[in-house]
Amino acid sequence: MDKRRKKSLESFTNKNNIFFSNYDLLDTAFTHPTFVFENKGRSFESNQRLEFLGDAVLGMVVAQYLYEAFKQEPEGTLTKMRAAVVCESTLAKIARKLEIGQFLCLGKGEELTGGRDRNSSLADAFEALIGALYLDQGIQVVKKFLEDKLLNELDKYELGNYGDYKTMVQEIAQKICGENVTYHIISESGPDHNKQFQAGISLKNELLAVGLGSSKKEAEQAAAKKAYDSLNSKNKKYNGD
């Protein structure tokens, strides 16, 4: 890592009250796969492995926090709450507050198509940051960081709705007709670094809604939200609410 890059990363850590002994870990956390792809033959590693680790660490810390903070809630509710906290949109919001986007190393195509502010890129980088911080400083530092940056602001992320529309629409479909919903990818377009997916959700072979997203999971959640709103409205009319 050159001095200019390290100085840039130090400005990030100073601004966000983080300490790193090994700045190579932080550099990797902010290295998008497209940057590595466009620099073949050079010793760059993408943030995908750190993202994998960070996802697990983040899930564990959030689960413990919810377990201790919401003592009356059953397992099913806690699971939905955790899904809302660690979802892509929430993590991207936190990443924007930390201004992670300006420190990302991106491929040229990703840069030109808005990758620096793309939800998926920001959420992945945030998870990779957690993985890097865990390896460098340990779990207690990670817990403190997440408490300051994420957990203390949970009331801003609509936990009452849990954010997991795939679970919610399944529950209401079972209630209405005792059937499971199904998902299928209708189409995908765009280059590998900027895919756009269109997902459909069906009930009893009837297409309920279509959603768009930068990942299959995001597209399915978007479709599930539309289907949930529609089914919930019909259910209320049927019950005279």
* Number of C-beta neighbours around residue 155 at 10 A: 8
Q: Which of 27, 88, 124, 127 is catalytic?
A: 127
Helices (H), the chain: 3-15, 23-29, 33-37, 48-69, 75-85, 88-98, 108-112, 119-137, 139-149, 165-177, 216-238
Q: Which of 51, 55, 88, 136 is catalytic?
A: 55
- For the question of residue 55 being annotated catalytic, the response is yes
Tokens of 9: 């990363």
Q: Is 75 helix (H, G, I), strand (E, B) or coil?
A: helix
- For the question of residue 136 being annotated catalytic, the response is no
Distance, CA of 168 to CA of 174 (rounded, Å):
10
φ, ψ of residue 200 in degrees (nearest 5): -115, 150
Distance, CA of 3 to CA of 43 (rounded, Å):
17
| CA separation, residue 206 to residues 65, 181, 197, 202 (Å) | 40, 10, 20, 5
Burial of 59 (0-12, 13-18, 19+ CB in 10 A): middle
Positions marked catalytic: 55, 127
